Amino acid sequence: MDEELLALREQLVAEATCPLCLDVFEQPVLTACGHSFCGQCLAGVLGEPPRPAACPQCRAPLELAPPVSVLPAVPVPNPWSRCV
């Protein structure tokens, strides 16, 4: 059972990790191609002022997916900070 929980934890951490900064998502953004990144990480890819760019994972033209949440964004504490 402990091994199953550890495997589940590893899978959850992998799903919630930004592929650019390798940390747990902060203000996650979903691209039209289905990849997720931290908002700040993606802003770094787009530059200032924003310019056309490719998705860092699949190289598709970078477009943000339309928001799907109907709830206001609420800061969520990092659940992994207490894990050993």
pLDDT tens across 33-77, in order?
889 999 999 989 888 888 889 999 999 998 776 655 444 555 666
Average pLDDT over residues 9-32: 88
Question: Bridge partners of 17?
Answer: 24
What's the token pair of residue 63? Answer: 């477009």
Helix (H/G/I), strand (E/B), else coil: 65: coil
Q: With bands split at pLDDT 50, 70 and 90, how would you rate the model's confidence at 18?
A: very high
* Residue 30 dihedral angles phi and psi, to the nearest 5°: -105, 130
- pTM for the model stands at 0.66
Residue 58: the pLDDT is 94
Lowest mean pLDDT among 8-12, 23-27, 66-70: 66-70
pLDDT of residue 10: 84
Which of 80, 75, 82 is closest to 24 using CA atoms?
80
Q: In this predicted structure, what is the pLDDT of residue 70?
A: 44
Q: What is the pLDDT of residue 32?
A: 86
Q: What is the dihedral of CA 63, 34, 74, 9, to 10 degrees?
A: -150
Please give the structure tokens belonging to residue 22. Answer: 């390798």
